[in-house]
Amino acid sequence: MVLVAQKYKLLSVAIIRKYSSRLKKDWELKNYLFAFCRSSSNLQTSYSSFKTVRYDICTYKNKPCGTLGLASVAGMCEPERSCSINEDIGLGSAFTIAHEIGHNFGMNHDGLGNPCGTKGHETAKLMAAHITANTNPFSWSSCSRDYITSFLDSGRGNCLNNEPPKREFVYPTVAPGQVYDADEQCRYQYGPGSRQCKFGEVCRELWCLSQSNRCVTNSIPAAEGTFCQTATIEKGHVGCDNILESSVREDKCRVCGGDGSTCDAVEGFFNETSPRGGGYLTVVQIPRGSVNIEVREVAVSPAYIALKSETDEYYLNCGWTIDWPKKFDAAGTTFRYKRPTDEPESLVAPGPTTTNLIVMVLYQESYEGITYKFNVPITRTGSGDSDIGFTWNHQPWSECSTTCAGGFQKQEVVCKRVDDSSIVQDNYCDPDTKPPEKRRRCNIEPCSPEWFIGDWLECSKTCGGGMRTRAVLCVRKMGPSEEKTLDSSACLTHRPVERESCNNLPCPPQWVALDWSECTPKCGSGFKHRIVLCKSSDLSKTLSTAYCPQESKPSTRMRCSLGRCPPARWVTGDWGQCSAQCGLGQQMRIVQCLSYTGQASSDCPETVRPSSMQQCESKCDGTPTSNTEECKDVSKVAYCPLVYKFQFCNRAYFRQICCKTCQGQ
CATH number of the domain where residue 133 is located = 3.40.390.10
Most distant pair of Cα atoms in the chain: their distance? 180
Q: What is the pLDDT of residues 223-261, one digit of tens each?
A: 888 887 554 445 566 777 767 677 888 888 888 888 888
- Please indicate, yes or no, if residue 169 is contained in any of the structural domains: no
Q: What is the pLDDT of residues 460-496, one digit of tens each?
A: 988 888 999 998 999 998 888 788 889 999 999 999 9
My answer on whether 209 and 152 are in the same domain is no
Q: What is the pLDDT of residues 418-454, one digit of tens each?
A: 887 888 878 888 888 899 999 999 998 999 999 989 8
My answer on whether 651 and 556 are in the same domain is no
Res. 16: pLDDT tops 70: no
- Please indicate, yes or no, if residue 584 is contained in any of the structural domains: no
Highest mean pLDDT among 59-63, 202-206, 234-238, 554-558: 554-558
Chain centroid offset of residue 38 CA: 27
Share of the chain above pLDDT 90, in %: 25
- Please indicate, yes or no, if residue 538 is contained in any of the structural domains: yes
Binding site members for Zn(2+): 99, 103, 109
Asked whether 74 and 105 are in contact (CB, 8 A), the reply is yes
H/E stretch holding 644 reads helix 640-645
Res. 22: pLDDT tops 50: no
- Short-list 41, 12, 37, CA closest to 23: 37
Mean pLDDT throughout 124-145? 82
- Please indicate, yes or no, if residue 554 is contained in any of the structural domains: yes
Known active-site residue 168: no
CA torsion, ordered 122, 128, 129, 134, to nearest 10 deg = 70
My answer on whether 89 and 58 are in the same domain is yes
CA distance 379 to 395: 24
My answer on whether 37 and 149 are in the same domain is yes
Catalytically annotated residue among 78, 80, 100, 483: 100
- Please indicate, yes or no, if residue 115 is contained in any of the structural domains: yes
Q: What is the pLDDT of residues 273-324, one digit of tens each?
A: 876 777 889 999 999 989 999 999 999 888 899 999 998 898 998 888 888 8
My answer on whether 479 and 540 are in the same domain is no
Res. 9: pLDDT tops 90: no
My answer on whether 154 and 181 are in the same domain is no
My answer on whether 293 and 344 are in the same domain is yes
49 burial level (CB within 10 Å; 0-12, 13-18, 19+): buried
Half-sphere exposure of 111 (CA within 13 A, CB side): 16
Where helices occur in 419-501 by DSSP H, the ranges are: none
Res. 21: pLDDT tops 50: no
Name the domain count of the chain: 7
- Short-list 657, 646, 652, CA closest to 665: 646
Residue 29's pLDDT band (cuts 50, 70, 90): low
- Please indicate, yes or no, if residue 287 is contained in any of the structural domains: yes
My answer on whether 72 and 126 are in the same domain is yes
pTM of the full predicted structure? 0.36
Share of the chain above pLDDT 70, in %: 85
My answer on whether 134 and 50 are in the same domain is yes
Q: What is the pLDDT of residue 349?
A: 95
Extended beta strands in 128-231, E state: 208-209, 215-216
Domain CATH for 302: 2.60.120.830
CA distance 208 to 213: 9
Asked whether 567 and 561 are in contact (CB, 8 A), the reply is no
- Please indicate, yes or no, if residue 83 is contained in any of the structural domains: yes
- Please indicate, yes or no, if residue 633 is contained in any of the structural domains: yes
My answer on whether 436 and 454 are in the same domain is no
> Domain range for residue 536?
510-561
My answer on whether 77 and 53 are in the same domain is yes
DSSP output for 346-399: EEEE----SS-EEEEEEESS----EEEEEEEEPPS--SGGG---EEEEEPPPPP
- Short-list 618, 613, 616, CA closest to 572: 613
My answer on whether 268 and 324 are in the same domain is yes
Q: What is the pLDDT of residue 621?
A: 62
Highest mean pLDDT among 36-40, 130-134, 266-270, 323-327: 266-270
